[in-house]
Amino acid sequence: MDINSLYKEMQPKIYAFFYIKTSNKEAAEDLTQEVFFEAIKGGVKFSGESSIQTWLFAIAKNRLKKYYRSNKYKWNLLKKIPRGQPLQASPEQDLLAKESKFQLLEKIEKLDEEPKEVVILRMYGELSFKEIGSLLGISENVARVTFHRAKLKLQKELEGYYVE
């Protein structure tokens, strides 16, 4: 796969990962570019032990750690409402869709650290369970079970929210 094809495929996933983590469009854009710059520059060598996607997300995780350290950034998923989404059929439906996303992100924020990471990498990074396991130092099966349990917990909590 050439670099242009790789960039077109991976840039939206890496950007979504950073946007969810930072809730800052400019920071997400900058960090995304840094990941690809570092990959192209060869600052981190691709060993072939994992997929290119996993390798890029490993670079992304390291860039995010540096960002947190340099900015003393505090997590706050409550502010991470996706922007720039196309309008639904009506303003009411658009408002409901945004509220649903807000509620989901609020519930994800309340998860323990490992399930939160697994959910974010799976939903926003679109990584396989094998890739998630490799990034987090857990088995593929643990990643799969952790995601399944977190998903069930989120569904139950969101159903409770809408039943009220």
The CATH fold of domain 1-76: Rna Polymerase Sigma Factor; Chain: A (1.10.1740)
pLDDT in tens, 21-59: 888 888 899 999 999 988 888 655 776 777 888 888 989
Query: Which residue ranges does the chain devote to CATH 1.10.1740.10?
Result: 1-76
Q: Over the Cα atoms of the chain, what is R_g?
A: 17
- CB neighbour list of residue 34: distance below 8 Å, 6 or more residues apart: 63
pLDDT at 157: 82
Residue 130 has pLDDT above 50, yes or no: yes
pTM of the complete model: 0.54
Half-sphere exposure of residue 96: CA atoms within 13 angstroms, side-chain side: 7
CA distances 128 to 74, 148, 155, Å, are 27, 13, 21
pLDDT at 74: 42
The CATH fold of domain 90-164: Arc Repressor Mutant, subunit A (1.10.10)
pLDDT at 164: 40
Angle, helices 25-41 vs 3-22, to 10°: value is 140
Query: Which residue ranges does the chain devote to CATH 1.10.10.10?
Result: 90-164
pLDDT in tens, 53-112: 888 898 999 998 888 877 653 444 334 444 454 444 556 666 666 677 777 778 888 899
* Concatenated DSSP letters of 83-98: -SPPP-SSHHHHHHHH
Considering the chain, what is the average pLDDT of its residues?
A: 79
Average pLDDT value for residue range 130-140:
91
- CB neighbour list of residue 23: distance below 8 Å, 6 or more residues apart: 76, 77, 79, 80
Distance, CA of 29 to CA of 107 (rounded, Å): 25
